[in-house]
Amino acid sequence: MSLRLSIALTALFIVGCGSSKGPGGGSALCGVNGTDTCAMQQQICSETLGCVECNANADCPATDPRCVEGHCRQCASNSDCGAAMPACWADGQCHAACTGNASCFGGGGGGGGGGLTICDTATGDCLGCKTNMDCAGTQRPLCDTTTDRCVACLQNSDCGAADPRCFLGEHRCVECLSNSDCGTARPICSPSDFTCHAGCTSNANCSGTTPLCNTTDSQCVACLQNTDCPTSAPVCNTDRGQCALCVMNSDCKDATKPICDTQRGQAACVQCIHNSDCPNAMPNCNNNVCGP
């Protein structure tokens, strides 16, 4: 892998979100509506690449200490490799220097590095491509000279009308990267597949019995907090976005009905759910009532 990779990476990884708030602005790169949910996948957020292993070398373990386009690798250039294995191939691993194309891919010398068919004899590195000509006639017609690999896109202008955005995390064309790429009928850009879906971005998109927008999952709900609920059902079950009589036992103020039963269609405060909720004198719970 050539020295230009180190230069390109410096520019690329200055930008990273590093914040649990996410990139904002309706971006779907790290979570819906500009949020950051990468930690759920044990990853971190990059404002350009989405959820990744790393934004900088400091995010990588000692075994793979170099951050290359969001992935931790053994090397980013030949200078990261020792004398025994002096060549950093485009797979981010140190190898013996190649001497010709036959030593670069499986079956042509056992060198490994699947898909790396070109030997740069000046550096000893096996590459996937050096120019676009090396990628011509494939589904990935462009050469990413940062990673020396053939990719589908490097920028939005490389994509067609059906999928007009280039997702740099995988260098593939997608329908959207943020809510602003979607129309009013399907206003939410999904971070799972970067396609537009129905949902809400604000309360203006909601009405009726679910007038509030939970922007965490883009769903219209009845409540977001207790103050959104009526006195007849004063507690907001935030997991469901529904108002209820209770969510936990502490919501039950009647001493004769101290247990919150959430197993029924509508939560209710009851005397008991299990026998263990009943006193010794009335040890059996039947239909939420303690009896002999």
Does residue 116 contact residue 90 with C-beta atoms inside 8 Å? yes
Q: Of residues 37 and 181, which shows the higher confidence score?
A: 181
pLDDT at 20: 46
pLDDT at 107: 30
Q: Where are the domains of the chain?
A: 1-80, 222-291
Does residue 39 contact residue 117 with C-beta atoms inside 8 Å? no
Cα separation, 148 vs 127, whole angstroms: 6
- Residue 87's H or E segment, with its range, is strand 87-88
- Which pTM does this prediction carry? 0.67
pLDDT at 77: 94
Residue partners of 233: CB distance under 8 A and separation at least 6: 243, 244, 245
Q: Of residues 43 and 11, which shows the higher confidence score?
A: 43
Which whole number is the average pLDDT over 110-138? 83
Beta-bridge partner residues of 51: 45
Does residue 134 contact residue 126 with C-beta atoms inside 8 Å? no
pLDDT tens digits, 233-242: 999 988 788 9
- Residue 12's H or E segment, with its range, is helix 4-12
Residue 267 one-letter amino acid:
A
pLDDT at 222: 94
- Residue 6's H or E segment, with its range, is helix 4-12
